[in-house]
């Protein structure tokens, strides 16, 4: 079924604030730098700002909901929209200001792309919260591309998109116990607006920057789907945003997750495809079911190596992704054993290669696999078997 909300008339134009930005030159090869040229090619693509792409359609859908729901006495939207903030942020913005402790795994180089010790690609749009507060914004949405080093499968890609929202009040305006019910109502309304009549459930969660913290799940296609994280902002986060007499709430929602569910998109790599058979299926303002085009055959190759204690699966995944690009579909651990005498651990991974647009030849895949092998050989973490 086709769903359209545009025809109902958008009451407000979405006023977004764009800021031109520059990307620092990474010190490739230095110990504290793990961004790659391939990852940096995504910076500035701003897929979320293409109103004809599924991500852009969902982003506008969320903005539209806020513009309709929160209107001030002059009939203007209370919310300011941001969608072009620099994805290159400081550790202060991404972590410190949000009370994320120094030993939090999200800060590790295995999980995050760094330019240097203090500069990184944002891992979440929460990185802009205190900056936007300091600039005087109390109600805002901030959408952008986020980056995380992760496993490789149909739902994980090192680039993804989030929309952050915060609603902050002067303490004199609303009592503290207004916040949580307001947050829940707002989000239940958002779910109803986007997904229609679906069952929802709230689970306790934990984020260093909110208390209480919650996760919202919806029943979708017969199973519970995690949709977003949210909570009441901690006092110290507001202080870091120069807000001393305020309280409020925030949430962050992943756009790929929503778009994959609503448009029935089976593989996260498709968002990055410029294949016309994909892009031509979408129209601004409409949610349609994706008609999958014929899949070209996959070709898998196994690879086995000894690992040393510093091995991290994300480093291996990133090595494969950096070598094979979007031709890699999944990377799965298929076997693992510990040598009974030496205690050394060996792992065997199956790399599945598939192109959306053509049949891959065995020679071509062998060549990529050889390059993967060469890079493993050069890595101190792994020893080919």
* Residue ranges binding ligand PHE (CB under 6 A): 124, 126, 164, 207, 210, 229-231, 250-252
Are 48 and 59 spatial neighbours (Cβ–Cβ below 8 Å)?
A: yes
The DSSP string of 87-101 is: SEEEHHHHTGGGT--
CB of 72 to ligand PHE, least distance (A): 23
CB of 162 to ligand PHE, least distance (A): 6
CB of 250 to ligand PHE, least distance (A): 4
- Map tokens 């979408």 to a residue: 282
Strands (E) located in 242-355: 246-254, 286-287, 299-307, 328-338, 345-353
CB of 262 to ligand PHE, least distance (A): 20
Backbone phi and psi for residue 52, each to the nearest 5 degrees, phi listed first: -95, 0
Q: How far is CA 178 from the centre of its chain?
A: 29
Torsion of CA 95, 227, 40, 24, to 10 degrees: -30
Tell me the C-alpha distance between 63 and 16, whole Å: 10
Q: Which is nearer to ligand PHE, 124 or 257 (CB)?
A: 124
Q: Which is nearer to ligand PHE, 91 or 369 (CB)?
A: 91
Tell me the C-alpha distance between 159 and 232, whole Å: 27
CB of 34 to ligand PHE, least distance (A): 20
Q: Which is nearer to ligand PHE, 26 or 241 (CB)?
A: 241
Q: Which is nearer to ligand PHE, 251 or 305 (CB)?
A: 251
Tell me the C-alpha distance between 82 and 19, whole Å: 9
CB of 140 to ligand PHE, least distance (A): 12
Q: Which is nearer to ligand PHE, 158 or 252 (CB)?
A: 252
Are 200 and 57 spatial neighbours (Cβ–Cβ below 8 Å)?
A: no
CB of 252 to ligand PHE, least distance (A): 3
Residue 262's contacts (CB-CB under 8 Å, 6 or more residues apart) are: 54, 58, 194, 195, 287
Q: Which is nearer to ligand PHE, 124 or 354 (CB)?
A: 124
CB of 336 to ligand PHE, least distance (A): 29
Nearest residue to ligand PHE, scored by beta-carbon proximity: 252
Q: Which is nearer to ligand PHE, 183 or 319 (CB)?
A: 183
CB of 229 to ligand PHE, least distance (A): 3
The DSSP string of 130-150 is: HHHHHTT-SEEEEEEEEE---
Are 48 and 258 spatial neighbours (Cβ–Cβ below 8 Å)?
A: no
DSSP bridge partners of 332: 350
Are 43 and 243 spatial neighbours (Cβ–Cβ below 8 Å)?
A: no
Q: Which is nearer to ligand PHE, 253 or 372 (CB)?
A: 253
Q: Which is nearer to ligand PHE, 51 or 208 (CB)?
A: 208
């Amino acid at each position: 079924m086709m769903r359209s909300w545009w025809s109902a008339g958008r009451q407000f134009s979405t006023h977004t604030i764009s800021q031109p930005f520059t990307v620092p030159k990474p010190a490739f090869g230095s110990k504290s730098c793990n961004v790659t040229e391939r990852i940096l090619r995504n910076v500035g693509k701003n897929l979320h700002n293409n109103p004809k792409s599924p991500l852009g359609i969902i982003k506008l859908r969320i903005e539209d909901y806020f513009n309709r729901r929160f209107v001030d006495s002059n009939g203007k939207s209370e919310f300011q929209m941001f969608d072009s903030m620099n994805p290159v942020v400081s550790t202060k913005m991404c972590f410190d200001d949000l009370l994320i402790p120094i030993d939090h795994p999200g800060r590790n180089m295995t999980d995050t792309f760094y330019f240097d010790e203090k500069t990184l690609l944002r891992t979440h749009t929460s990185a802009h919260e205190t900056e936007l507060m300091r600039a005087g914004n109390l109600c805002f949405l901030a959408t952008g591309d986020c980056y995380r080093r992760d496993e490789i499968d149909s739902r994980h890609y090192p680039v993804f998109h989030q929309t952050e929202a915060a609603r902050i009040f002067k303490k004199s305006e609303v009592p503290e116990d207004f916040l949580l019910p307001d947050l829940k109502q707002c989000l239940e309304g958002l779910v109803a607006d986007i997904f229609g009549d679906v069952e929802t459930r709230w689970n306790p969660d934990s984020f260093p920057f909110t208390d209480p913290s919650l996760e919202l799940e919806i029943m979708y296609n017969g199973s519970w789907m995690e949709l977003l994280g949210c909570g009441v902002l901690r006092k110290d986060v507001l202080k870091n945003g120069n807000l001393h007499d305020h309280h409020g709430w925030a949430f962050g929602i992943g756009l790929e997750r929503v778009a994959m569910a609503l448009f029935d998109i089976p593989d996260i790599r498709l968002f990055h495809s410029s294949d016309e058979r994909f892009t031509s299926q979408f129209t601004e303002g409409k949610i349609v079911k994706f008609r999958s085009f014929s899949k070209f055959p996959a070709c898998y190759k196994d690879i086995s190596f000894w690992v040393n204690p510093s091995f991290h699966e994300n480093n291996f995944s990133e090595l494969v992704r950096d070598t094979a690009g979007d031709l890699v579909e999944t990377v799965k651990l298929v076997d693992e054993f510990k040598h009974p005498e030496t205690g050394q651990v060996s792992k065997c991974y199956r790399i599945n290669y598939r192109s959306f647009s053509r049949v891959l030849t065995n020679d071509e895949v062998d060549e990529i696999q050889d390059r993967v092998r060469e890079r493993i050989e050069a890595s101190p973490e792994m020893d080919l078997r």
